[in-house]
Copies of this chain bind each other. A is one copy, B any other.
Amino acid sequence: MASPAVSDIPAFWAVVPAGGAGTRLWPLSRAAHPKFLLDLTGSGRTLLQATVDRLEPLTGDRVVVVTGAVHADAVRDQLPGLRADRVVAEPSPRDSMAAIGLAAAVVEREDPDAVIGSFAADHVIPDAEAFREVIREAVEVARDGHLVTIGIEPTFPATGFGYIRAGAPLAGAPTALHAVEFVEKPDAARAREYIDSGEFRWNAGMFVVRAATLLDLLARWHPDLAAGLRAIAANRSRLDEVWPGLTRIAIDHAVAEPAAGAGHVVVVPAPFGWDDVGDFASLATLLPGDGAVRVLGNPGDVTTVDAAGVVVAAGGRRVAVVGLDDVVVVDTPDALLVTTRARAQDVKAVVDLLTAEGRTDLT
């Protein structure tokens, strides 16, 4: 007997913001081919493709990707099954509220009862089925008019993410909790307190909400921005005229934080693994290999002598590492990076130096 097809969720739309330079993943990630366009895990699918793959069982073809105009063609190439008009090209960067809000406004016109879920194009979630279970609950809760966020169970006291503080359970929901507040990236001591308290979860920037609810909340605190986004959705030919005047603001500040303060936000705890692949130390944990060496690319390209914890992004040449632990080697045709897992955050400084040199061909 064939297993029954898992049904998608009626009127549920995915919004996939595809942006961010990923400068800490230089020289793999460049301005011209940023992180979301890369296969960083060796899966055969880019982060963007894997994000859409993960969502399609829930959304069918109801996926909208919002990206910079320069990347729109690359996004369409990577997602040949996506209708061309479902790739929304931003004429210029205007931060996450405008990007997600425009997609929400476009979806709202097509389907006034739509629930949207916003999921960045450059995150990794190995257990797609666990992810989808959480999203199913989030959509149910969102239909009641809540702004639902996904709270990732922290695995260490990270200082690189914002946190969500959860409160009482939401009546009638299997796992959802009221969200008390969003807090910014903490210092190490505060991050430790957050973890120890058990009340805090990582804010992975995933929101599930009725499109109309999101725009109505936005209209409460940023009426001009909400009106501008709805005006563009009503007449897409006005994009280039209206877009440059829109307020630059992150969705957290524009809507999520004030909505939490007003009691409108719910958090669904996420028991699945999640990684934003922020740097090569983070990437290392996602790569095949062992304690000796992990390789993105062909493991046969790497030779180690008395070296452990080595991370190599192979570029087709032989890479030999002798007598160095926890070293990161990234081999690309025009640039080569050598650093350590511990210093992976500082790779951004190389991009800054190259930019100062005017070597935009390398950034």
B320 touches A335 (CB 8 A): yes
The one of B322, B340, B346, B359 that contacts A349, using a Cβ cutoff of 8 Å:
B322
Residues of B close to A26: CB separation below 8 A: 320
Asked whether, in the complex, the Cβ of A324 is within 8 Å of the Cβ of B336, the reply is no
Q: How far is the CA of A151 from the CA of B354 in the complex (A)?
A: 48
Measured CA separation A26–B322 after assembly (Å): 12
Question: Which residues of the partner chain B approach A318 to less than 8 Å between Cβ atoms?
Answer: 27, 334-336, 354, 359, 362
Q: In the bound complex, do residue A350 and residue B336 qualify as a contact, i.e. CB atoms below 8 Å apart? A: no
Among residues 299 to 336 in chain A, which have CB atoms less than 8 Å away from a CB atom of chain B?
Answer: 303, 305-306, 317-324, 327, 329, 331-336
Determine the interface band of chain A, counting residues with CB < 8 A from chain B.
35 or more
| A305-B346, A305-B349 known; A322+B337 contact, CB < 8 A | yes
Chain B residues with CB under 8 Å of A324's CB are 324, 327, 338-340, 343
Q: Which residues of B contact A323 (CB under 8 A)?
A: 339-340, 342-343, 346
Chain A interface secondary structure, helix, strand, loop or mixed?
mixed
User: Does A353 make an interface contact (CB < 8 A)?
Assistant: yes
Given contacts A317-B335, A327-B338, A334-B317, are A322 and B347 in contact (CB under 8 A)? yes
Question: A339–B317 Cα gap in the complex (Å)?
Answer: 16
Instruction: Give Cα A327 to B335, complex, Å.
Output: 17
Contacts of A306 in B (CB 8 A): 343, 346, 349
Across the interface, which residues of B come within 8 angstroms of A346, CB to CB?
305-306, 322-323
Is there contact, CB below 8 Å, between B350 and A303?
Answer: yes
B338 x A321 contact (CB < 8 A): yes
**How distant is A113 from chain B, measured CB to nearest CB, in Å?**
50
Which chain B residues lie closer than 8 Å to A342 at the CB level?
A: 323
18 A-B interface contacts by CB (under 8 A): A26-B320, A27-B320, A303-B353, A306-B343, A306-B349, A317-B332, A317-B334, A317-B336, A318-B335, A319-B335, A320-B347, A320-B350, A322-B337, A323-B342, A323-B346, A324-B338, A324-B339, A336-B336
